Chains A and B, each alone.
Chain A
Amino acid sequence: MVSVMEVCELLERSAIGTDIRESTLLFPFIEGAHVLALSLSVGLILITDLRLMGVVMRNRATSEIWSQFFPWMMSGFGVMFLTGSLLFWSHALSAYHSAAFRAKLVLLILSGLNAAIYHITIYRKLDQWDASPVPPMQARLAGWTSLVLWAGVITMGRIMAYTF
């Protein structure tokens, strides 16, 4: 049985990992794309969170904003996941040892859990509050939680780059 650390070491030492890490153009390009895609992924999440909190675009149904934003948000997350995976590949062992990276992963998982809980609870009753300017407490709480968790993800992402 190989350990997670050994897998990370193999990834970092692999030809692809080394090529990305040592490339003068590829690494900054991937990093730049990772940062700029923040606007589409977290930027759009932020506005949907603010709608859930009853702060912005109160006269539009929550479902309208969600269905309109979803494809763009997912494109942003697609770019984030792809570029993030490549960045991880190139620094897998450093990431393994980085407390900030571990914290970032935990925050990402918590953010997924928050979304899952929202979807299997209050979202099931969406037809009752879809058009309300201020959604029910549980939906507002999901919005706040998401906002705080994503701020944490960004902070940890920025800090981890210093530990490499």
Chain B
Amino acid sequence: MASIYPFFAWCERTWICRQITVHESFFPALETIHLFGLVLLLGTIAILSLRLLGLLMPRQPIPELAGALGRYTALGLAIMLPSGMLMFVATAVRCYGNTSFWVKMCFLTAALVFHFTYFKKALRSPDSQYSQLHARLAACGALLLWFGVGASGRSIGFFG
């Protein structure tokens, strides 16, 4: 694993890192933008998961709700990924030694894979043709993984 450390050190030598470090308000601004993305991403994931569990909007077909909210999930992700990467570049060396960061990256990888495979499939299938068990598993899995990303992400700033 030691071989990837130079990449983390290089990140902190980049022009982007210098800009974020020099301008005091950049990092808080990135964090705030990251939070806006979180509201969109986790908010729509929560709504869709509650629908899959049958606890919200039971009269609206799942694919229809997913069609209406999917772009906001995507927008949330499109806000969170670049803002997160910029924060990473600015603090790469600290991230390297931060257990929460690595836990978050594991959760994030798992959440993305789960989202674009199992979760999307559950959202696409008409209610009548999809088993209740699969829908529930998709909802619980998505909630667990995405809130895991959020919780471990928040702890990067608190714990080592």
Which residues of B (19-69) have their CB < 8 Å from a CB of A?
Answer: 28, 31-32, 35-36, 38-47, 50, 55-57, 59-60, 65, 68-69
Q: A38-B42, A39-B45, A68-B56 are in contact. Are A32 and B36 (CB under 8 A)?
A: no
B116 on interface, CB distance cutoff 8 Å:
no
Kindly identify which residue among A27, A31, A43, A64 contacts B39, using a CB–CB cutoff of 8 Å.
A43
| B43 partner, pick from A27, A46, A154, A162, beta carbons under 8 A | A46
Known: A35-B35, A38-B35, A158-B35. A28 touches B42 (CB 8 A): no
Q: Which of B57, B72, B159 contacts A68 (CB 8 A)?
A: B57
Dominant SS at the B interface? helix
* A80 on the B face (CB < 8 A): no
Contact B28 A43 (CB under 8 A): no
| Nearest residue, chain B, Cβ from A36 | B150
CA distance in complex: A42, B37 (Å): 12
Are B43 and A151 neighbours in the complex by a CB distance under 8 Å? no
Q: Are A56 and B39 in contact (CB under 8 A)?
A: no
CA distance A143 to B56 in the complex (A): 21
Q: Mark B131-160, 1 if CB is under 8 A from A, else 0.
A: 000000000000000010011001100110
Q: Is B39 within 8 A of A39, CB to CB?
A: yes
Contacting pair A158 B31 (CB below 8 A): yes
Of the candidates A36, A43, A162, which one forms a contact with B147 in the assembled complex, judged by CB atoms under 8 Å apart? A36
Contacts of A29-60 to chain B: CB distance below 8 A: 31-32, 35-36, 38-40, 42-44, 46-47, 56-57, 60
Contacts of A31 in B (CB 8 A): 154, 158
The smallest C-beta distance from A37 to any residue of chain B, in angstroms, reads: 10
